[in-house]
Chain A
């Protein structure tokens, strides 16, 4: 398995240079950055949705917090956007507690329902808040004036920043996976009652997972805002943001390290393609396809493409190795 990660790492590191010679270098480099961003968001969702099995359908609230705060401090208070990044994380942690603390005592459905309700609540409140730009949204630096604006014209610097964050997230996730936290989360997902009987503090660990997930989702939102320089209630807090995070993780394989990456590599180019081919109405079609994909995953292969691969090609793998590190 190690060779796979090394190969991926090498390709990822060299990608911008590899496509630099082609005719659509800028486009491909930009898409590369978007793939990495999608991978970060999906991997972050994966911590609570995949490993812990607590299905959040409102993760946009964390993404949005991370996206809005940097642009808020810049547009309203003329401060470096970077200062907004830890603020976004702080807000996300508070939201995680507000949503998780009461619902993690109850059946799983309550948590899912709460995530959707709170995310919508925040979206509506934000869309009426003048401080937060209301329906128009907020904007970041138009030109790069200082280094901490993080406003680059080329996608390549963003690409490497995102790659760095993704590597950090994967390391954190891997470390969690082999630690007590990881084992307890998998036990919770596999059987809460049994986990409890073994001394697992279920509610507390679910909160840990949610808070860790919220932190990195917020970071993904901040990176998005820094790159695009713009955010509004739909692009930051809409239900489609939550959908994107979920489907990217679930398509590849929720609960695995590689799954969200696989999902990102497939879905980002796919979405770009449908948007290009079908023009304006393309985005409507994209979400019909997304809905269908999610239903198919749920119905036929909840473990995603990785699980499908393990089932169809057992010759190529001794045992599920990328995630089962005992």
Chain B
């Protein structure tokens, strides 16, 4: 019974990992760019939820929407002000740009919010539910399903809609896309908005269940790196599968080996992955 609970918890948090990682893999696939500040986007989503909860009230849906909106705008702005230009520059500039941004966002948040851990006030999703003997927190249950649905939604957006195919066209071949009348710049800005929004919503969802501080971004960033590497370059379905796997592995390790192994196992998995199968689950060698 406990075993099933551990599995369920792992999958539920894994779905949230999948959500924010899908944003990272979108940018990677489209622009061959790794956003080292992605973890901070998640963290900002958490604080957006906090601010909404404190000032405006409302339920989790409101937090999520607010986080999505704020982070979407932030993502677009960051693209226009910074990323667009460094893309043309040397590797040093590209990597340092988001690395520096991560630092800036993290310590600005420390400055504004203090380094202490905070929690959201209780929401309508408080409490637990008993599903056939397994005890699950309502909040985590809902978060997991919402995250999973949104990740699938991202995949559908990319593969089934007109705007999605435009995004993919730019990812495939910028020049060809331009010749077809697609504006790569606009599409890339949109992608950054979507990427940041996915991180923001994931953050808001996690904020409902967990306490957080401005410094949690670092761990989420590395988790995202593991998930996108495992899931394969640019693959949203890969990120979904990998996210679930990472959540599961984390949950099982925490239970069987001890809570300190929660992150250690994931990071060690990353190193093993780089040695043995860097193309990930679904990639070709």
In the complex, chain B residues 87-116 whose Cβ is within 8 Å of any chain A Cβ: 89-97, 99-108, 110-111, 115
Contact bitstring B9-44, A, C-beta under 8 A = 1, else 0 = 000000000000000000010001010100000000
CB within 8 A of A299: which of B82, B91, B222?
B82
| B111 and A288 within 8 A (CB) | yes
Asked if A109 is at the interface of the complex by the 8 Å CB criterion, the answer is: yes
Neighbouring B residues of A103 by C-beta, 8 Å: 274, 278
| A117 and B96 within 8 A (CB) | no
CB within 8 A of A112: which of B95, B97, B278?
B95
CB within 8 A of B95: which of A55, A189, A243?
A55
- Interface size class on chain B is 35 or more
| A295 and B107 within 8 A (CB) | no
| B95 and A121 within 8 A (CB) | no
Q: CA of A121 to CA of B250 in the docked complex: distance in angstroms?
A: 14
Secondary structure at the B interface, as helix, strand, loop or mixed, is helix
| A290 and B95 within 8 A (CB) | no
Whole-angstrom distance between the Cβ of A110 and the nearest chain B Cβ: 6
Asked if A86 is at the interface of the complex by the 8 Å CB criterion, the answer is: no
Asked if B171 is at the interface of the complex by the 8 Å CB criterion, the answer is: no
Name the residue on A nearest B219 (C-beta): A120
Q: CA of A313 to CA of B6 in the docked complex: distance in angstroms?
A: 64
Neighbouring B residues of A106 by C-beta, 8 Å: 274, 278
A108 in contact with B278 given A113-B225, A294-B96 (CB within 8 Å): no
A113 in contact with B34 given A106-B278, A291-B100 (CB within 8 Å): yes
| A120 and B267 within 8 A (CB) | yes
- Interface size class on chain A is 35 or more
Asked if A49 is at the interface of the complex by the 8 Å CB criterion, the answer is: yes
Neighbouring B residues of A117 by C-beta, 8 Å: 222, 225-226, 267, 270-271
Neighbouring B residues of A57 by C-beta, 8 Å: 36, 95, 99
Name the residue on A nearest B258 (C-beta): A128
- One of A29-37, A201-209, A279-287 contacting the partner: A279-287
| B274 and A102 within 8 A (CB) | yes
Whole-angstrom distance between the Cβ of B205 and the nearest chain A Cβ: 24
Tell which of A103, A118, A121, A128 has the most Cβ of chain B within 10 Å: A121
| A288 and B100 within 8 A (CB) | no
| B104 and A299 within 8 A (CB) | no
Name the residue on A nearest B225 (C-beta): A113
Whole-angstrom distance between the Cβ of A195 and the nearest chain B Cβ: 14
Neighbouring B residues of A105 by C-beta, 8 Å: 278
CB within 8 A of B103: which of A121, A294, A302?
A294
What total count of A-B pairs have CB within 8 Å? Answer: 144
A121 in contact with B278 given A114-B270, A288-B108, A291-B103 (CB within 8 Å): no
Q: CA of A116 to CA of B96 in the docked complex: distance in angstroms?
A: 13
| B222 and A295 within 8 A (CB) | no
CB within 8 A of A109: which of B34, B82, B86, B90?
B34
| A55 and B101 within 8 A (CB) | no
Tell which of B28, B92, B275 has the most Cβ of chain A within 10 Å: B92
Whole-angstrom distance between the Cβ of A57 and the nearest chain B Cβ: 6
Asked if B268 is at the interface of the complex by the 8 Å CB criterion, the answer is: yes
Neighbouring A residues of B270 by C-beta, 8 Å: 113-114, 117
Neighbouring A residues of B263 by C-beta, 8 Å: 120, 124
Neighbouring A residues of B93 by C-beta, 8 Å: 297-299, 302
In the complex, chain A residues 249-280 whose Cβ is within 8 Å of any chain B Cβ: 250, 254
| A293 and B100 within 8 A (CB) | yes
Q: CA of A99 to CA of B270 in the docked complex: distance in angstroms?
A: 11
Asked if B176 is at the interface of the complex by the 8 Å CB criterion, the answer is: no
CB within 8 A of B271: which of A118, A287, A298?
A118
Q: CA of A299 to CA of B93 in the docked complex: distance in angstroms?
A: 7
Neighbouring B residues of A281 by C-beta, 8 Å: 111
A-B contact pairs, 22 of them (CB 8 A): A53-B92, A57-B99, A102-B274, A103-B274, A105-B278, A110-B278, A113-B222, A113-B270, A116-B225, A117-B270, A120-B218, A120-B263, A121-B267, A189-B90, A287-B103, A291-B105, A294-B99, A295-B82, A295-B97, A297-B93, A298-B89, A298-B92
For the complex with contacts A107-B32, A117-B267, 14 further pairs of A-B residues with Cβ separation under 8 Å are A55-B96, A102-B275, A108-B91, A114-B270, A114-B274, A117-B225, A117-B226, A243-B103, A246-B96, A246-B99, A287-B106, A287-B107, A291-B104, A291-B106
